[in-house]
Amino acid sequence: MNANRTMTEIQLPWYRPVAQEVALFEACAEQQLPLLLKGPTGCGKSRFVEYMAARLGRELITVACHDDTTATDLLGRFLIRDGDTVWCDGPVTRAVRRGAVLYLDEIAEARPDVVVAVHPLTDHRRELYLDRCDEVVTATADFMLVASFNPFYQQGLKELKPSTRQRFVSLSFNYPTAAEEVEILMGETDCERAVARKLTALAGKLRNAELLGLAEIPSTRLLVDAARLIHAGFPPRDACRTAVIEPLTDDPPTVTAMCDLAALCF
């Protein structure tokens, strides 16, 4: 994508800023600083990165981190092609070479060797060492490293080491206010304001219902899914059950209680 194109010429993903996150991202990009996004599931972290990469006119390369991903998977490996052994860059190496925005989603899920491999990209060196081919790849000026993790989910399970956290500028995300969430649902799905308000009201009830014992509270992402189903003609109560309630619990009494709350809103 040509970075000189204006934002009116680029089809930006829909995103509703809620604070100073846009200005901070742009400052980090300009100053070549890595950025860590902290926040619960489905609060808009990934959409924000997608929006900002498009806004800056940069390629976005996303890596979904998990236990089975190795540093080799991300950096690259030698492969046999037409009888020859050739080096094939992994997604991290491609991002560094191309000057892309590299997004490491849920970095706390990554194996230690993955985190250590990207450490040199987070300081003044901005380099990537490929030990298998004895090459040092220096990031271009446009390269930016962004990572995310859910501190609420990871607490007591997997934590980012302090030595890793201190390599990033950090930005906290949370679920939007009711008024902001109504705007987000309308902008994301074209649903009617009345529908958006009812879904937001349901979310408020579920997020504050401690007696339900939910492992996670309903995210804005789930509300967007429900709004899309309703916009497509699905009955509102059924949309709430399939898109919001069932993804949160398998316990029949809890499902029944949550459906009762949905019936109060719709």
The mean of the pLDDT values for the chain is: 90
Q: What percent of the chain stands above pLDDT 90? A: 70
- Confidence (pTM): 0.86
Say whether pLDDT at 82 is over 50. yes
Determine the pLDDT at residue 7.
47
Percent of the chain at pLDDT above 70? Answer: 94
| Distance (Å, whole) CA 201 – CA 235 | 17
Per-residue burial over 238-260, b if 16 or more Cβ lie within 10 Å, else e, is ebbbebbbebbbeeeebbebbbe
Has residue 257 got a pLDDT over 70? yes
Distance (Å, whole) CA 84 – CA 158:
41
pLDDT at residue number 91: 95
Is the pLDDT at 4 greater than 50? The verdict is: no
- 3-state SS, residue 233: coil
- Which of the 8 DSSP states describes residue 12? P
Range with lowest mean pLDDT among 55-59, 118-122, 176-180, 205-209? 205-209
3 state DSSP class of 37 = strand
In the prediction, which pLDDT does 132 show? 85
